[in-house]
Structure 1
Amino acid sequence: MTAALLDVSDLRVTYPGRGFRARPDEVLHGVSLSVAEGETLGIVGESGSGKTTIGRAVLGLVAPSGGTVRFLDQDITHAAGRQRRALARDLQVVFQDPYTSLNPALTIGDILSEPLVVQGTALREARVRVAELLDQVGLPQDASERLPREFSGGQRQRVAIARALAPQPRLIVCDEPVSALDLSTQARVLDLFVDIQRRTSVAYLFISHDLAVIRQVSHRVSVIYRGDIVESGAAGPVTSTPEHPYTQKLLLAAPVADPAEQRKRRAERHRLAAAERDKAA
Structure 2
Amino acid sequence: MTGPLLDVSELRVTYPGRGFRARPHEVLHGVSLSVREGETLGLVGESGSGKTTIGRAVLGLAKPSGGRILFRDQDITHIPAKVRRSMARDIQVVFQDPYTSLNPSLTIGDILSEPLVVQGSSVTDARARVLELLDQVGLPADAAARLPREFSGGQRQRVAIARALAPRPRLIVCDEPVSALDLSTQTRVLDLFIDIQRRTGVAYLFVSHDLAVIRHISHRVTVLYRGAVVETGPADRITASPEHPYTQDLLLAAPVADPARQRERREKRSRLATNKSTETKAS
Q: Same fold judged by TM-score > 0.5?
A: yes
Q: Secondary structure at the match of 2:96?
A: coil
Match of 1:40 in 2: 40
Q: Distance in 2 between matches of 1:58 and 1:279?
A: 38
Does the aligned pair in 1 maintain the 2:93–2:164 contact within 8 Å? yes
Does the aligned pair in 2 maintain the 1:69–1:77 contact within 8 Å? yes
> How do residues 177-188 of structure 1 correspond to structure 2 at under 5 angstroms?
177-188=177-188
Q: CA deviation at 1:86?
A: 0.9
Match of 1:155 in 2: 155
Q: Which amino acid aligns with 1:253?
A: A
Match of 2:77 in 1: 77
> How do residues 219-238 of structure 1 correspond to structure 2 at under 5 angstroms?
219-238=219-238
Q: CA deviation at 1:123?
A: 0.7
Match of 1:265 in 2: 265
Q: Which amino acid aligns with 1:133?
A: L
Q: Secondary structure at the match of 1:196?
A: helix
Structure 2 length as normaliser, TM-score? 0.97
Does the aligned pair in 1 maintain the 2:174–2:204 contact within 8 Å? yes
> How do residues 80-119 of structure 1 correspond to structure 2 at under 5 angstroms?
80-119=80-119
Does the aligned pair in 2 maintain the 1:3–1:37 contact within 8 Å? no
Q: Secondary structure at the match of 1:229?
A: strand
Match of 1:6 in 2: 6
Q: Distance in 2 between matches of 1:50 and 1:197?
A: 26
Q: Distance in 1 between matches of 2:266 and 2:65?
A: 39
Q: Distance in 1 between matches of 2:80 and 2:101?
A: 22
User: How many matched pairs?
Assistant: 280
Q: Which amino acid aligns with 1:123?
A: V
Q: CA deviation at 1:278?
A: 3.0
Provide Cα deviations, 1:57-109, integer angstroms capped at 9, x if missing partner.
00000101100111111111112321111110000000000110000010000
Q: CA RMSD in A?
A: 1.0
> How do residues 137-216 of structure 1 correspond to structure 2 at under 5 angstroms?
137-216=137-216
Does the aligned pair in 2 maintain the 1:60–1:80 contact within 8 Å? no
Q: CA deviation at 1:279?
A: 3.1
Q: Distance in 2 between matches of 1:193 and 1:127?
A: 23
Match of 2:274 in 1: 274
Identity over aligned residues, as a percent? 77
Q: CA deviation at 1:163?
A: 0.2
Deviates further, 71-80 or 183-192: 71-80
Q: Which amino acid aligns with 1:33?
A: L
Does the aligned pair in 1 maintain the 2:95–2:176 contact within 8 Å? yes
Q: Distance in 1 between matches of 2:129 and 2:74?
A: 29
Q: CA deviation at 1:254?
A: 1.0
Provide Cα deviations, 1:155-182, integer angstroms capped at 9, x if missing partner.
0000000000000000000000000000
Q: CA deviation at 1:136?
A: 0.2
Does the aligned pair in 1 maintain the 2:3–2:72 contact within 8 Å? no
Does the aligned pair in 1 maintain the 2:157–2:177 contact within 8 Å? yes
Q: Distance in 2 between matches of 1:110 and 1:129?
A: 12
Q: Secondary structure at the match of 1:121?
A: coil
Does the aligned pair in 1 maintain the 2:133–2:166 contact within 8 Å? yes
Match of 2:27 in 1: 27
Q: Secondary structure at the match of 2:89?
A: coil
Q: CA deviation at 1:262?
A: 1.5
Match of 1:218 in 2: 218
Match of 2:240 in 1: 240
Q: CA deviation at 1:272?
A: 1.6
Q: CA deviation at 1:267?
A: 1.4
User: Structure 1: which 5+ residue stretches go unaligned?
Assistant: none
Q: Which amino acid aligns with 1:44?
A: V
Does the aligned pair in 1 maintain the 2:3–2:73 contact within 8 Å? no
Q: CA deviation at 1:264?
A: 1.1
Q: Secondary structure at the match of 1:92?
A: strand
Structure 1 length as normaliser, TM-score? 0.98
Q: Which amino acid aligns with 2:165?
A: L
Q: Which amino acid aligns with 1:62?
A: A
Provide Cα deviations, 1:117-174, integer angstroms capped at 9, x if missing partner.
1110111000000000000000000000000000000000000000000000000000
Q: Distance in 1 between matches of 2:24 and 2:60?
A: 20
